[in-house]
Chains A and B, each alone.
Chain A
Amino acid sequence: MATNPMEQFKVHKIGPEIEISGINLSFTNASLFMVISAGLILILLLFGTREKKLVPGKIQLISEILYNFIAKMISDTAGKKAKPFFPFIFSLFVFILFCNMVGMLPYSFTVTSHIIVTLTFALFIFIGVTILGFVMHGFKYLRIFVPSGVPIVLLPIISIIEIISYLSRPISLSVRLFANMMAGHTMLKVFGGFVISLGLIGGWLPLSFSVALTGLEILVAFLQAYVFAILTCIYLNDALNLHH
């Protein structure tokens, strides 16, 4: 019988309950998969940088491609000034990518399918970028809400729209990733359930859908990590180079 497709998102604690001043900070399956993803990243990078070869091996090539890919992404969207944030964008992209990819394994847990995780990232980026903008430009940073070349009559309306769009950045950023991951995994689970419930005769159709969806979801897993990172770069660009 098909189980609840939302069951895969359930968080349960592993090991003892940890409580600090009344806040439950227990180690959970979500935490476990964060650690697993981080571990995989560190293993990849460790093997990728173990020896400095002039002609790189396979793993070294992967880490160098990753490096060049993110470096190019940052320089294309945010320019030279964003170079100090390269390690952060790199870690962010790689962490989200690995969480998404690890989540694609059956019976695993998808860390990024939880709104609280993506919201934490998004709020951190939002607050960080806002502070950065004010530090770099002072109160001139508020000009981001006043686009140039707009008739004065329209300015109040445009400004309000700009402010709303600016404030909704963390929500859109976090919900995009979270909803994509959750929807994909739910869909996979639902089709998986159909395979069982339709049995040997009718189950082939949802099974083939499942296979196709798995391919699609792997693409989405990469794409969402990329979108998250590139939007972070764009927000950084807004704060670093005040264009308006």
Chain B
Amino acid sequence: MKKFFALLTFLSTWETNIHSAEAGMPQLDPEYWFSQIFWLIIVFITIYILISKIFIPKIKGSIDMREDKIRKDLEEAKTFKEQAELKLKEYNSLMETAKLDVKKITSKSRQKLNEDMQIKKEQIQKKIDAEISNAGIEIKKLKNDSFDKVNLISQDIVSNLVKDIFGEDLNKSSIEASVSQTIKEYERDKQK
């Protein structure tokens, strides 16, 4: 660098010698040094004050604002996501309980239905049984009645027959006895 610098100085003096103008570098002429320092200080202090008091806070403000906005948006998105996840969980649990409820209700109603059917069956069975027993009693009654009637008819027939054949009446009791005797014998034979 120093060599280059020396070369430059040499070059410039050489050029000035050619043109026979003022010697050397104008930078080394102290005539306006203080003026330059003075104006530099004024200008630099001015822009320093303006930049530090006005522009840097403004730029910082806008950068901070943007960062704040981005951070807030991200946070908001995060909370929204959490909320959505919570809602999803809630929905899932709701679905689960609903399914369980459905199962319970169906099993309950099935049970109830079965019970009802059982009760109805039993009732109907009872009714049928009662009817059957009634019918049995009636049949027995009818059977007995028919026996008595057959007895009476056969007694009548016997008395009439005896009257026609023998021309005289037999006493009733003997007829009865003989009829019942024959019926009994008949039944005994039948049973045999």
A: residues with CB less than 8 A from B are 3-7, 9-11, 13, 18, 23-28, 30-31, 34-35, 37-38, 41-42, 45-46, 48-49, 52-54, 56, 60, 63-64, 67-68, 86-88, 90-91, 94-95, 111, 113-117, 120, 175-176, 178-179, 182-183, 186, 190
The minimal Cβ–Cβ distance linking A57 to chain B, given in whole angstroms, is 11
Contact indicator B58/A49 (Cβ below 8 Å)? yes
- Total contacts A-B at CB 8 Å: 153
Neighbouring B residues of A25 by C-beta, 8 Å: 34-35, 38-39
Q: What's the Cα separation between A35 and B168 when bound, in Å?
A: 178
Q: What's the Cα separation between A77 and B26 when bound, in Å?
A: 36
Neighbouring B residues of A111 by C-beta, 8 Å: 40
Contact indicator B12/A6 (Cβ below 8 Å)? yes
Q: Is the interface of B mostly helix, strand, loop or mixed?
A: helix
Q: What's the Cα separation between A193 and B45 when bound, in Å?
A: 38
Pairs A–B under 8 Å by Cβ, sample size 26: A4-B15, A9-B25, A11-B36, A18-B35, A24-B35, A25-B34, A27-B39, A28-B36, A28-B39, A31-B39, A31-B43, A38-B46, A38-B47, A42-B47, A45-B51, A54-B69, A68-B63, A87-B51, A87-B52, A91-B51, A115-B27, A179-B8, A182-B25, A183-B5, A186-B8, A186-B12
Contact indicator B48/A91 (Cβ below 8 Å)? yes
Q: What's the Cα separation between A7 and B69 when bound, in Å?
A: 54
- A4-B16 in contact given A54-B69, A114-B27 (Cβ < 8 Å): yes
Interface residues on B, range: 35 or more
Known: A13-B35, A41-B51, A63-B59. 11 other contacts (CB 8 A): A11-B32, A25-B39, A38-B44, A45-B51, A94-B47, A120-B37, A120-B41, A176-B1, A183-B5, A186-B8, A190-B11
Neighbouring B residues of A10 by C-beta, 8 Å: 26
Q: What's the Cα separation between A45 and B38 when bound, in Å?
A: 25
Q: Within the complex, which residue of A26, A87, A117, A176 is in contact with B40, where a contact is CB–CB below 8 Å?
A: A117
The minimal Cβ–Cβ distance linking B53 to chain A, given in whole angstroms, is 8
Q: Which residue of A lies closest to B63 (CB)?
A: A64
The minimal Cβ–Cβ distance linking A31 to chain B, given in whole angstroms, is 4
Q: What's the Cα separation between A18 and B65 when bound, in Å?
A: 47
Q: Which residue of B lies closest to A49 (CB)?
A: B58
Neighbouring A residues of B35 by C-beta, 8 Å: 11, 13, 18, 24-28, 30-31
Q: Which residue of A lies closest to B37 (CB)?
A: A120
Q: What's the Cα separation between A233 and B8 when bound, in Å?
A: 30
- A117-B47 in contact given A6-B25, A7-B21, A183-B8 (Cβ < 8 Å): no
Closest 4 CB pairs between A and B?
A87-B52, A31-B39, A49-B58, A45-B55
B33 at the interface (CB under 8 A from A): yes
Q: What's the Cα separation between A5 and B51 when bound, in Å?
A: 36
The minimal Cβ–Cβ distance linking A180 to chain B, given in whole angstroms, is 9
Neighbouring A residues of B51 by C-beta, 8 Å: 41, 45, 87, 90-91, 94
B113 at the interface (CB under 8 A from A): no
Neighbouring B residues of A3 by C-beta, 8 Å: 19
